[in-house]
Amino acid sequence: MTKDEILELLKGVKHPEQDKDIVSLGMVENLTIDADTGAVRFTMKLTKPRDPMAGSVRRAAEAVLREATGVPPVIVVAEPLPPDSKAAKQQTMREKSRLNEIGQVIAVASGKGGVGKSTVTANLAVALAAEGYKVGVLDADIYGPSMPKMFGVEDYKPVAEIAEDGSDLEYIVPAEAYGVKVMSIGFFISGSDALVWRGPMATNALRQLLHQTAWGELDFLLIDLPPGTGDLHLTIVSELKLSGAVIVSTPQEVALLDVVRGIAMFRNEHVNVPIRGIVENMAWFTPAELPDNRYFIFGPADEGGRVAALATEQGVPLLGSIPLVQAIAEGGDTGKPIAARDSLTGEAFRTVARALVGKL
Ligand SMILES: Nc1ncnc2c1ncn2[C@@H]1O[C@H](COP(=O)(O)OP(=O)(O)OP(=O)(O)O)[C@@H](O)[C@H]1O
């Protein structure tokens, strides 16, 4: 029998817990066939330490191979690398080096929830892609991952691929929509699970998504952070090696207070991430039937408005102002970001994108 035929056979052996076959799970390594006896030999690499299923999966593989070849196979069970081993560290270094293919890693943050941080992230990404840049989005909002919905890729099931660089490492293939590569913690967890995540668990998962996604070459990777400025954020932003941050705020006074906190977090000596600018969202309301009217419902517009004043006070550029319009909310709900459309509002996001590029 050939190696391919053996692999085909092994695809019939499932890991019951993960509901996938052992070949797709990458558990079959160093497969050889003894030229004299025809005995198959391979290493069964476990996907997690002390896997309770290991014994039954190995026996199932043995049975299949013995039946097909007539000789008992040799299956060596290998535990995954302990996290602090030298080999594991080398693997981490190789993973890190792949991030060199990413030009700018920009976190999009907000002090307060609900100000439109995710909406701005999605549209900014689409606008940057429309400007000809290679863009990825990492949805790190563990409290409410919304990128799958905003990009219309909720049904996407992430798959793994082997790196082409000969390292034999596996990477997760991101979803792709509107020219943007999208990876979300939402592809892996259901909404209610996210809430119980504690700091280290969330940070580990995010680190893995950042390093093990097959981003390829990117000019920009935007990270949609969870709202707030707590300990979790401090850990995330100091772990992720950001090249800059963008802060989103509405002109409401309660939101502005939190912006000051957000700016202080990025400027913290342990974090030290440059703030590339503030985006004012929901700057004014414009009804669809009166496109020339502006109603400043969240704050007055005198002297350029509160967000502009705060930006000047903090020494941070204002990248642009986005109005509150129904089409933006609809775009988010239907998975069709408005920045992909040739509209006035789409242009507002493209202006923000150009301003951001100008600051880098
Ligand atoms: N400029 C806008 N015009 C109209 N609707 C908007 C605008 N910005 C955001 N929204 C809507 O407001 C709601 C909240 O937006 P979004 O989810 O982007 O906020 P967020 O700051 O990311 O929230 P959180 O971080 O708390 O999850 C969404 O329903 C979105 O469609």
Instruction: Please list the pLDDT of the chain residue by residue as tens digits (360 residues).
Output: 889 999 999 999 988 878 889 999 989 998 999 888 889 999 999 988 778 788 888 888 998 999 899 999 999 888 887 766 666 665 665 555 566 688 899 999 998 888 999 999 999 999 999 999 999 999 988 778 899 999 999 989 888 887 776 666 778 899 999 999 999 988 877 655 555 556 666 777 777 788 888 898 999 999 999 888 777 777 777 777 788 999 999 999 888 889 999 999 899 877 889 999 999 999 999 998 888 889 998 877 776 789 999 999 999 999 999 999 999 999 999 999 999 988 888 999 999 999 999 988
Known binding residue 111? Answer is yes
Closest protein CA for atom 1 of ligand 1: 324
ipTM: 0.98
For a mutational test of ligand 1's pocket, the pick from 118, 333, 336, i.e. the residue with the most ligand atoms closer than 8 A to its C-beta, is: 118
Cα 178 to its chain centre, rounded Å, is 16
Known binding residue 86? Answer is no
Q: Which of 320, 318, 325 is nearest to 297 (CA)?
A: 325
Token pair listed for 182: 């999208």
Q: Enumerate the β-bridge partners of residue 75.
A: 42
Determine the atom of ligand 1 nearest the C-alpha atom of 281.
1
For the segment(s) 94-359, the CATH number from 3.40.50.300, 2.30.30.60, 3.20.20.30, 1.20.120.420 is 3.40.50.300
Distance 282 CA to ligand 1 centre (A): 9
Pinpoint the residues of the chain covered by CATH 3.40.50.300. 94-359
What's the gap in Å between 120 CA and the centre of ligand 1?
Answer: 8
Residues of the chain with CATH 3.30.300.130: 3-78
Phi then psi for residue 331, to 5 deg, are: -60, -40
3-class state of residue 104 by DSSP: strand
Strand boundaries in the chain, DSSP class E: 14-15, 20-21, 28-33, 40-45, 74-78, 102-109, 135-139, 159-162, 170-173, 175-177, 180-184, 218-224, 244-249, 275-285, 318-324
The architecture of the domain spanning 3-78 is: 2-Layer Sandwich (3.30)
- For the CA of 110, the closest atom of ligand 1 is 21
Q: Closest ligand 1 atom, CA of 113?
A: 26
